[in-house]
């Protein structure tokens, strides 16, 4: 028991404590936020039950749901998001089945990107310290009893995200990198890397992909 207390004390001293201001937190239970979330739920449900071969209608749904969408985008179902309008996709993007994008802040996904099944992308988080995370004297019907903040996530061009990966708030995956299946990305990964693990770490550098020059 003494060892446990000493370990916890050491961790608390070494940990960098984040400081927050009221403006850092999101009004996730405001009428406007709830309306946007409800509409996103309706659209993702409609997308789920749409005919797989009705590519025209499925694209119309995605155009209304998302903040931006390029050409040749394939999103398999089920697909989950909070708002949808904070998600921006480039050209030639594949998002496989059962992916979750918690887009309380913008999620930018470049072109020629592969995202495998069961990937979770979280822009939202909560303060670690209970006194910062929880709202004192909270009353039902007046917002949430907890505080939420969000940081944007960017996945650059030519990236491959393996199955079951988790991307945490504020990270960037550099151009041409590969994230191995099951990885938990807690920090940004530079361009041209293979990275794996929990927490995700670079294990190999690789040559960056460059598009061939157009022929004369």
Could you list the active site residues? 126
Among 91, 72, 105, 84, CA closest to 42:
84
Written as six digits, the tokens of 146 are 């907890």
Q: Which residues contact 66 (CB under 8 A, 6 or more apart)?
A: 84, 85, 87, 88, 89
Cα–Cα dist 190/174, whole Å: 5
Q: Which one, of 122, 76, 72, lies nearest residue 92 by Cα?
A: 72
Rounded-to-integer distance, Cα 89 and Cα 68, Å: 6
Q: What whole-number distance in Å separates Cα of residue 120 and Cα of residue 111? A: 19
């Amino acid at each position: 028991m003494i060892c446990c207390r000493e370990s916890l004390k050491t961790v608390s001293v070494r940990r960098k404590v984040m400081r927050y201001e009221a403006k850092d937190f999101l009004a996730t239970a405001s009428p406007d936020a709830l309306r946007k979330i409800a509409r996103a739920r309706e659209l993702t449900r409609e997308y789920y039950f749409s005919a797989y071969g009705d590519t025209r209608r499925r694209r119309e749904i995605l155009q209304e749901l998302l903040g931006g969408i390029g050409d040749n985008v394939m999103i398999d179902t089920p697909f989950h998001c909070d708002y949808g309008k904070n998600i921006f996709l480039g050209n030639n993007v594949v998002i496989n089945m059962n992916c979750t994008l918690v887009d309380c802040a913008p999620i930018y996904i470049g072109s020629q990107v592969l995202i495998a099944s069961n990937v979770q992308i979280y822009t939202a988080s909560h303060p670690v310290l209970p006194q910062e995370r929880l709202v004192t004297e909270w009353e039902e019907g007046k917002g949430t009893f907890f505080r939420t903040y969000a940081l944007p996530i960017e996945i650059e061009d030519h990236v491959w995200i393996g199955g079951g990966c988790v991307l945490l708030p504020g990270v960037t995956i550099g151009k041409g990198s590969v994230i191995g299946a099951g990885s938990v990305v807690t920090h940004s990964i530079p361009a041209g890397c293979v990275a794996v693990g929990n927490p995700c770490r670079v294990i190999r550098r690789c040559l960056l992909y460059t598009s061939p020059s157009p022929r004369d």
